Structure 1
Amino acid sequence: MRVDRCFFCSGPIQPGHGVMFVRNDCKQFKYCSKKCHTSFKKKRNPRKVKWTKSHRKGRGKELAIDPCFEFERRRDIPVKYSRELWQETVKAMMAVEEIKNKRQTQYAVNRFEKSRELRLIIDKAEIKKGVHLLELKERKQKKPVVQVLEDVDIEDLVELEEN
């Protein structure tokens, strides 16, 4: 029992699910859903369709290069059946899957931290651009503008973002 990959979106296809299209040259295309099948028939490029794995990997949204992906390659070398070998293989597959999931979550955390830091810098720049609006407000309250600019700091932006 093999879990195949969708030709269009690279999603998993469980046995008994999906659609298979066989071209005149006997090349087989397997699709997980009608959405993928019709997108292929409409000659859409999977790298330009935002919900596909190839688009996400191309844009840096998912982990693309990792030694764990080497284990997922298909190997067509016949091996004589051995119960111990299969038990070891299943254990190794679970270990590789666990390692891969940890690395992907760490990649996502690192990516979000970088975007958060960039967002804080952009927010601070926006505040500096809108100083004249603060001046108008502070004239009404009789508070100096210099003090307002000193009060605004990255830590304040972090607290606002967390709330």
Structure 2
Amino acid sequence: MKRQPRKLKWTKTHRALRGKEMIVDSSLLLSQFAKKRNIPVKYDRNLVATTLKAMERVEEIRQRRERVFTKRRLAGKAARDRQREADRRVVAEGEHLIRKELREMEEQNVPLTAEKEKIAGKVFGEERQRQKKKAKVLVDGGVEEEMDVD
């Protein structure tokens, strides 16, 4: 279909371009592992040892990146929890002020009477669905309404 591989999210080039693939990591010389090899390589003990060492290193880096990602993701939640705790502490420290104000309101007999409660709970008018309206903007600056769109 003649598509650009850099634009297709599943390709190696796209992942490497966006920094998602380990190949781009300069701390490792992994670009040699992604190369195509058309010639079969004979068994070599040193090559196997270095490959295993590189695989362990890749795994360490992957785990470290996962830890950092998780830590960053949870940092927002931890900050929210800390803020809530601080808010609760402030309320607990100033609770006597809140109680004092409630006592003053009770002394002034401000509580809602039965009539006020009925009015407060009553819905005035009738409910109707909001409808979107289409309108044309005219050249001279006016607006011509066309129709209602559901």
Q: TM-score, normalised by structure 2?
A: 0.33
The structure with the largest alpha-carbon Rg is 2
